[in-house]
Every structure is written in structure tokens, then in C-alpha cells.
Amino acid sequence: MKKILSIVAVLAVAASVSFAQKEATDQNAKVPEANEGPMMTFETMEINYGEIEQNSDPLRIFKFTNTGTEPLIIKNAKGSCGCTVPSYPKNAILPGEAAEIEVRYATNRLGPFAKTVTLTTNEKVDKHVLKIKGKVHPKPPEPEGVPASNSGFGNSNNN
């Protein structure tokens, strides 16, 4: 009798383990792949302007690719202040396609800066924060022009 009970117990355990594995496999089949849907992948998320001169080139470019499986739509791009102005593609970026976010910083403002641009997209994680930083130095004073002369060409006081 003990042998029969032991065999029944072993069969019951084997059946329950087998059923549990099938249920886990079914649940795993429902989990989508990590890159399913649109996915924005940047070359870099931060750009350092470095030490620049006042009124120098304000434009920097963030390059990205849609590494997902569906078209990517950028719904909005907003700078952390009025001195940071982004522009972005208004059309859908297809899977595998590359595009750019242009960011302009007001380089007429002196001193160090650290600003952000927040992007809102149609991705599962629908926000990305891009960062810019640097330091703007005053433009060096321009040399004065050549002083006026009383002698030379056009002067009628030549003796």
C-alpha cells in the first residue's frame, strides 16, 4: 500500500510541476519584446558647449534613430526656459529612420548654464530629457579704429 501511495504522490507532484511550467510559458508568450513599438535611441543625451564666446553659434544637434518597430511621433519639445529653443521633426519617423532635434541656446547671456529640453513622444516611456551645458564668456572688446590724421591724401594743407 505504501508503494501505491508513493507512486500516486510522485505522479501528482510531476503533474503539478508540468502544469505550472506550461502556465509560465503561456504568460511569457504574452510579454511583448523590449523594442516593440516606437523607440527613440540617441547618439548622446547631453551636449557640452564648452567655454564659448558671447554671441557665438547657438545651434547644437541631437541625433537619434527610431530603433523600434512602429513609427515614432514627437508630440512636443519644450526648453527649460525661454533661452533654450528646440525644433523637432513634425512628421512620423519610421522604424530604422534617423532624425535630429535642433537646440538653440541664447549665447548672448553670460556665465555658466545648464538647461534641459523635454521631449514628449508616442513611446511607452513617453518622455526624454536632453541636456545642454557650457559657459559663455564676454566677447573681447574690438580694437579702436585708426585715428584720424591731419596729413595725407585729401588734405589741402600740404606745403
Domain assignment present for residue 126? The answer is: yes
How many domains does one find in the chain? 1
Tell me how far apart the alpha carbons of residues 138 and 111 are, in angstroms, rounded to a whole number: 8
Range of the domain at 86: 40-137
Tell me how far apart the alpha carbons of residues 14 and 147 are, in angstroms, rounded to a whole number: 102
Domain assignment present for residue 50? The answer is: yes
Domain assignment present for residue 30? The answer is: no
pTM score, whole prediction: 0.67
Domain assignment present for residue 15? The answer is: no
Domain assignment present for residue 158? The answer is: no
User: Residue 2's pLDDT is what?
Assistant: 60
Buried b or exposed e, range 72-88, using 16+ CB within 10 angstroms? bbbeebebeeeebbbeb
Q: What tens-digit pLDDT sequence spans the chain (159 residues)?
A: 566 656 655 555 555 555 444 444 444 444 445 568 999 999 999 999 999 999 999 999 999 999 999 999 999 999 999 999 999 999 999 999 999 999 999 999 999 999 999 999 999 988 999 999 999 999 888 777 666 666 656 555 555
User: Residue 139's pLDDT is what?
Assistant: 87
User: Residue 5's pLDDT is what?
Assistant: 53
- Kindly report the CATH number assigned to the domain that includes residue 61: 2.60.40.10
User: Residue 96's pLDDT is what?
Assistant: 96
User: Residue 28's pLDDT is what?
Assistant: 43
Domain assignment present for residue 89? The answer is: yes
User: Residue 142's pLDDT is what?
Assistant: 76
- Cβ contacts of residue 74 below 8 Å, gap of 6+? 88, 89, 90, 93, 101, 119, 120, 121
User: Residue 16's pLDDT is what?
Assistant: 58
User: Residue 86's pLDDT is what?
Assistant: 97
Domain assignment present for residue 144? The answer is: no
End-to-end CA distance of the chain: 142
Domain assignment present for residue 151? The answer is: no
